[in-house]
């Protein structure tokens, strides 16, 4: 199990990767949304907002059920996703990453992840 700091660092690496996407490409596929990332083995939930400029900083919160896009992933898998050792599609297909979002949001996220 990864630590809270390792999970936070993984989220920061993922956020940095998204901000490296070409600004025009990002603007084409991003609609402003709130995103939560629940890490059940750590008992943590992180919340951010995605917009044309990238992602805001992740904040630890108690509950993020109101987020428009909700991700659930264990800490080790989160670290593996950030290190490109685990592909998002494979993690999702095998149930290691759970995503609760509208179909439109899923399609948009797929374009930038």
CATH number, domain of 104, equals 3.30.1050.10
Residue 113 lies in a domain: no
Confidence (pLDDT) at 66 = 81
Residues in contact with 5: Cβ distance below 8 Å, sequence separation at least 6, in sequence order:
none
Report how many domains make up the chain. Answer: 1
Angle between helices 75-82 and 4-19 (to 10 degrees): 30
The residue range of the domain holding 49 is: 4-108
Tens of pLDDT, residue by residue over 35-82, are 999 999 999 999 999 887 778 999 999 887 889 999 999 999 999 999
Q: In this structure, is residue 37 part of a structural domain?
A: yes
Binned at pLDDT 50, 70 and 90, residue 112 comes out as low
Does residue 83 lie in a domain region?
yes
Q: Does 50 fall in a domain?
A: yes
> Residue 28 falls within a domain, yes or no?
yes
- Pairing between strand 44-51 and 59-61? antiparallel
56 lies in a domain?
A: yes
pTM for the predicted model, two decimal places: 0.86
């Amino acid at each position: 199990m990864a630590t809270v700091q390792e999970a936070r660092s993984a989220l920061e690496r993922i956020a940095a990767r998204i901000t490296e996407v070409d600004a025009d490409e990002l603007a084409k596929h991003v609609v402003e949304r709130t995103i939560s990332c629940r890490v059940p083995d750590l008992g943590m939930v992180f919340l951010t907002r995605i917009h044309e400029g990238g992602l805001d900083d992740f904040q630890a919160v108690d509950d993020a059920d109101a987020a428009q896009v909700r991700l659930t992933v264990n800490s080790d898998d989160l670290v593996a996703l950030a290190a490109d050792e685990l592909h998002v599609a494979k993690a999702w297909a095998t149930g290691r990453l759970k995503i609760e979002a509208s179909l439109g949001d899923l399609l948009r996220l797929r374009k930038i992840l």
